């Protein structure tokens, strides 16, 4: 069974300067609070170890997700494209833009697509100023992506903004209704608004849900799994949020969940390939 | 054990022109996403098959709920009354009015009661303009119903409005506090705000909860059942939302839930009879 | 294993005039809806019986929590201090102030601390006017407590205000972020916003969670326990909200929960001692 990890930040290029790698204690505290040990590849910042861990976990490819934020740093799209070029068999590139200026954002999206990225990651709640996912200033950008068939990953859970209202379900619910042909992946899965985001997914068929690190042992876990095994089996995405979760342990745990084989195949790879148009 | 289905829309009169029957693919998609097969009576639009399915399920009576909305259509109160007149042993009539004009709504409520309806169904979030359940424009209508001892069914879950805020718990919480003597049944059970609506029901003793179709296999199911078997046993109502759920399969599943016998009797019929004053 | 009950209102002094004892039917209805029988000590208003029940339950000490509200009454700090002076081995005093006037509140806090209280209980949602937990008018008070290392208990669940928005997670989330060095205990545990408050606790390390009476058999119970046994084991607090729950039955039930021994020791006493600086 092929496995694609939908959210990875390998120890390469610009990622090494971001807090994910430059503040390992903070990162490892998250890892341990989820019940995992830090990945050796994360501690050693070693791509060779990471590739070994991918093999051990059975993860054939990882979606490398860029970032362009005020509070969590920037990973340039050039770096994302270069990583995919260096490891074309292992990494799928997803770019990112700062959405606070619509003209610059649209130009940067088009440039990133020209570089080969398969989707765009937006994290409006950690930009300056922070924006809700249904902020009117984002609508020209969403319209451009919908018209040009560019899938969008929205950070809509966890520390998605200055406070918990930035992950509240009404914002993504409204933009999904207003852009029904735009495939939207909610990273961090809308956590902790678990039942609410599952309702949104039940109602809006253009939403894909990927709780990634906000799943193992956390409240809401059972509801996510129930939905993944049921009505959401074609729109749930496997992701580790590496380096926050180590691939072998996370994957082993995920494969033990009570999810039927057909749904599991969808979740591990087919949904990812379909939403990215691969 | 007598069973009363608190939300049914049989294939008769005005229902046949509504989207529930005129757009069967959309309806059947819901049915299947809940793990059921469409009811033959729904597919064939056959009241005779439906009566057979009621017998098979052990459902002696169904509450036939009218509708008066901008986006989900209208079932006239005359049709509801006529259905109950044609099948007095099988159907209990509940009317509906458009709540956007208070004077017309109050007159229509009184006319419906004179026709014999046992309660009024309001769906303010799918009217034009959509109204929250605590919108001040609804308060004269609620006051009239409270003063005249007319129970109200409020659509307060699922697709209750243009976005998820229309089912958010604060709206129904406030109107329940402001009209403490008005019996209120929340159809679609406040889903997906499951724990929140259960808190509201814990605090406001004039609220009855009926998740109907938003129960089988959906996130929150365990919490609803726990409450139904505990503090909410005298205010939980069995309902299939037929034709969305087939009666025999839904009922068989419901009877298998871990609910004690006395609570189950309340939920299947006694609570329904009491709240409707029968 | 030592047990400290973090929320008790013994039948002594001013408590006897409060609704908790003067309206026993209302109180006992809550007790029964949680599946318990009223404590004999509550029914008889007997401190001797209560001390026996504490011994039977294995509860060595109780945190006696004062109150200063518009809608739930007032227990004077003098009474709290006197109870602790009369029973120094059994009760730990926590005072309370009316937070609607900042200057008077700060003076009253300092006076209470001089009397020996170990923390201050604020219940802004049941004051006049009701205040949200992040109301700007509370910020001078929070600042004073943070600067003077005085822990605060905030009523942030259950009937925390006129409607459910007073327990909504965004309010406590914001004040926790703005006062990161102020230890905050949320009484009633943020219920019913269970997953949301657990997210807030995951993100804000100055939050302690004590669902107290909003735990046994209520929706969300499993999620609280999962967190208590996991990432929240050092910030979860055992409390009965006596006289709402009887100590022997509540404690016996709590000890049967699937919580590992080390976490259980933290929850039963170590977290309480640490947050109160004892």
The ranges of chain C with pLDDT < 70 are none
Closest CA to C201 of C186, C222, C179, C182: C186
Residues of chain A with Cβ-Cβ distance to B220 below 8 Å are: 195, 223
Those residues of chain A whose CB sits closer than 8 Å to some CB in chain B are 169-170, 173-174, 177, 194-196, 198-200, 202-203, 222-224, 226-227, 230-231
| Joined tokens for residue B131 | 């109204």
pLDDT in tens, A96-121: 999 999 999 999 999 999 999 999 99
Interface pTM (ipTM) of the complex?
0.93
Q: Which of A42, A4, A35 has the alpha carbon at shortest distance from A20? A: A42
What chains are in contact with C, requiring at least 3 Cβ pairs below 8 Å? A, B
Query: A164: which 2 tokens?
Result: 């918990």
Shortest distance between the Cα of C56 and any Cα of chain A, in A, equals 33
Q: What is the pLDDT of residue A1?
A: 85
Q: Which residues of A touch C (CB under 8 A)?
A: 33-35, 158-159, 162-165, 168, 191-195, 217-220, 222
Question: Are residues A195 and B219, on separate chains, in Cβ contact within 8 Å?
Answer: yes
Cis previous bond, C260, omega within 30: no
CB contact under 8 A, B226 and C220: no
Residues of C whose CB is below 8 A from A199: none
Q: What is the pLDDT of residue C1?
A: 85
Q: Tell me the pLDDT of chain B averaged across its residues.
A: 97
Instruction: Please report the pLDDT score of residue B1 as a whole number.
Output: 85
- The pLDDT of B74-102, averaged and rounded, is 98
Residue B36 has pLDDT above 90, yes or no: yes
Residues of A in contact with C195 (CB under 8 A): 191-195, 219-220
Give the pLDDT score at A244: 97
> Which subunits have 3 or more CB–CB pairs within 8 Å of chain A?
B, C
Pairwise CB contact (< 8 Å): B194 & C219: yes
| Cis? peptide before C214, omega within 30° of 0 | no
Distance CA B70, CA B75 (A): 12
Give the one of B170, B222, B226 whose C-beta lies nearest to C164's C-beta.
Answer: B170
Strands (E), C15-174: 59-65, 67-68, 74-75, 91-96, 120-122, 152-155
Beta carbons of A199 and B191 less than 8 Å apart: yes
Question: Which residues have CB under 8 Å from C81's CB, separation 6+?
Answer: C93, C95, C112, C115, C116, C117
The tokens of A105 are what? 């954002």
CA neighbours within 13 Å on the CB side: how many for B165?
14
DSSP state of A96: E
Q: How many structural domains comprise chain C?
A: 1
Instruction: Give partners of B (≥3 CB pairs < 8 A).
Output: A, C
Distance, first Cα to last Cα, chain A: 17
Q: Which residues of C touch B227 (CB under 8 A)?
A: 218-219
Intervals of chain A under pLDDT 50: none
Model-level pTM greater than 0.90? Answer: yes
Among residues C83, C45, C43, the alpha carbon closest in space to that of C63 is found at C83
What is the tens place of the pLDDT at every residue in A56-78? 999 999 999 999 999 999 999 99
Residue-wise pLDDT for B90-117, tens only, equals: 999 999 999 999 999 999 999 999 999 9
**Considering all CA atoms of chain B, what is the largest pairwise distance in Å, rounded to the nearest integer?**
46
pLDDT digits (tens, 9 = 90+) for B207-260: 999 999 999 989 999 999 999 999 999 999 999 999 999 999 999 999 999 999
Token couple for B180: 């403490």
How many other CB atoms sit within 10 Å of the CB of residue A191? 29
What sections of C179-219 are H helices per DSSP?
A: 194-203
Q: What is the DSSP letter of C34?
A: T
> What are the residues of chain C with a beta carbon less than 8 Å away from any beta carbon of chain B?
33-35, 158-159, 162-165, 168, 191-195, 217-220, 222
- Chain A residues in contact with C226 by the CB 8 A cut-off are 217-219
Contact C192 B173 (CB under 8 A): no
| Predicted pLDDT at A217 | 87
Give the DSSP letter of residue C37: P
Confidence at residue A220, expressed as pLDDT on a 0 to 100 scale: 92
CB-CB contact of A253 with A95 (8 Å): no
Nearest CA in chain C to B234: C33
Q: Quote the crossing angle between the two packed helices A194-203 and A169-178, to the nearest 10°.
A: 10
**Mutation to test the A interface, candidates B192, B198, B211, B217, most A Cβ within 10 Å:** B192
Quick count: other Cβ atoms within 10 Å of Cβ B268?
25
Q: Identify which of A173, A195, A231 has the shortest CB distance to residue B163.
A: A173
CA of C93 vs chain A CAs: smallest distance (Å): 33
- Residues from chain C that touch B200, judged by Cβ atoms under 8 A, are 164
Which CATH number do you get for residue A136? 3.20.20.140
For residue A37, how far is the Cα from the chain centroid? 21
Least CB–CB distance from A223: residue in B158, B162, B219: B219
Q: What is the pLDDT of residues C165-177, one digit of tens each?
A: 999 999 999 999 9
- DSSP states of chain B as a string? --EEEEEE--SSGGGGGSHHHH-HHHHHHHHHHTT-PPPHHHHHT-HHHHHHHHHHHTEEEEEEE-EE-SSS-EE-HHHHHHHHHHSTTTEEEEEE--TTSHHHHHHHHHHHHHTT-S-EEE-GGGSSS---TT-GGGHHHHHHHHHTT--EEEE-SSS-SSSGGGG-HHHHHHHHHH-TTS-EEEEGGGTT-HHHHHHHHHH-TTEEEE-TTS-TTSTTHHHHHHHHTTTTTTSB-----BTSS-HHHHHHHHHTSS--HHHHHIIIIIHHHHHTT-
User: What's the domain range around B151?
Assistant: 4-275
How many alpha carbons lie under 13 Å from residue B58 in its C-beta half-sphere? 13
Q: With CB atoms and an 8 Å threshold, state whether B231 touches C165.
A: no
Yes or no, beta carbons of A35 and C230 under 8 Å apart: yes
Contact A170 B193 (CB under 8 A): no
Total residue length of chain C: 278
Chain A residue with minimum CA distance to C197: A192
Question: How many residues appear in chain A?
Answer: 278
Cα(C153)–Cα(C95) distance, rounded to whole angstroms? 10
Residue A68 contacts residue A74 (beta carbons within 8 Å): yes
């Amino acid at each position: 069974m092929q496995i694609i990890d939908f959210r990875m930040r390998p120890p390469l290029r610009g990622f090494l300067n971001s807090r994910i790698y430059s503040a390992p204690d903070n990162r490892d505290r998250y890892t341990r609070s989820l019940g995992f040990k830090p990945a050796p590849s994360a501690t050693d910042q070693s791509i060779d170890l990471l590739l070994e861990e991918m093999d051990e976990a059975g993860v054939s490819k990882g979606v490398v997700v860029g970032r362009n934020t005020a509070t969590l740093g920037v990973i340039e799209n050039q770096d994302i494209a270069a990583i995919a070029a260096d490891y074309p068999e292992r990494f799928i590139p997803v770019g990112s833009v700062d959405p606070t200026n619509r003209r610059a954002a649209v130009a940067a999206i088009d440039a990133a697509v020209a570089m080969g990225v398969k989707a765009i990651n937006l994290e409006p709640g950690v930009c300056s100023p922070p924006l809700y996912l249904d902020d009117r200033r984002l609508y020209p950008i969403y319209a451009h992506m919908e018209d040009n068939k560019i899938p969008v990953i929205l950070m809509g859970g966890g520390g998605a903004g200055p406070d918990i209202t930035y992950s509240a379900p009404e914002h993504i619910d409204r933009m999904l209704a207003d852009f029904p042909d735009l495939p939207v992946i909610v990273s961090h899965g809308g956590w902790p608004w678990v039942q609410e985001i599952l309702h949104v997914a039940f109602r809006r068929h253009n939403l894909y849900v990927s709780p990634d690190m906000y799943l193992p042992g956390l409240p809401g876990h059972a509801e996510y799994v129930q939905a993944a095994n049921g009505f959401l089996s074609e729109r749930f995405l496997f992701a580790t949020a590496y380096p926050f979760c180590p691939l072998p342990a996370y994957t082993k745990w995920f494969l033990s969940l009570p999810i039927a084989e057909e749904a599991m195949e969808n979740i591990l790879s087919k949904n990812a390939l379909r939403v990215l148009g691969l």
